[in-house]
Structure 1
């Protein structure tokens, strides 16, 4: 919520203290850090720690998320090559989250609202990327995309 000062036509920050404006982004970051810390300590490469992907288990096909936990584990341990090898799309998702979260925090500090309103073309493009990734990783020549 922004207010316009009638005298100078300047936009002033939304009311509320800085800790209050940062509570939700901070809570989201705490949840993500907690999830990555758990995955970083409980190795998904060891069998029995996490449930198997149902699509892979029953059909033998890799879904777009297959290898995501191994990718997160590799990111936590600083092995970007292994993370990209496990699931390149997940690594892109981690980077996108970091960028969007940073924008969210900067806008919150400045008292400006954050609106996430992806247009239909962006959503279609992301869907197409996931579809192509899923199809290619399940074709014989896409073996380099297997987790």
Structure 2
């Protein structure tokens, strides 16, 4: 019998895969289908995610320079997020995988990541 957890991960994977296909083939600048940033709309300031949709579109199309120009944070967080998904989906993680998960996603790592996101937001709005 297949577990509910496996069904959940398959559904999440298919949903993410569908979203990635959408972002690859549809440019967020050219379509109203994609949401606009409410922080940018209300304050005029860029949030940490501003430009993320455009960056993802460029990244999926191999346009790394344009992706980096849109949102530097997303450019670097994409591998971090991918590793997180991988480590979450491993059914029986090895000791090394557990250590890596704790190192990358433990309390200390999350505090460092939050500090980097806040610093990135402040810097991008000052420049």
The normalised TM-score by structure 1 is 0.67
* Structure number with larger C-alpha Rg: 1
Find 1:128's aligned residue among 97, 110, 115.
115
RMSD: 2.8
User: Gaps spanning 5+ residues in structure 2: where?
Assistant: none
Give distance in 2, aligned partners of 1:21 and 1:119: 22
Structure 2 counterpart of 1:78: 62
Residue deviations 1:51-85, cap 9 Å, x none?
Answer: 32121112210000101100111122111121111
Identify the range of structure 1 (54-63 vs 42-51) with the bigger mean alpha-carbon deviation.
42-51
Per-residue deviation, 1:95: 1.1
Residue deviations 1:3-22, cap 9 Å, x none?
Answer: xxxxxxxxxxxxx76x8775
Give distance in 2, aligned partners of 1:136 and 1:123: 20
Which one has more relative contact order, counting CA pairs under 8 Å at least 6 apart?
A: 1
Identify the structure with the greater helix proportion.
2
User: Gaps spanning 5+ residues in structure 1: where?
Assistant: 1-15, 143-147
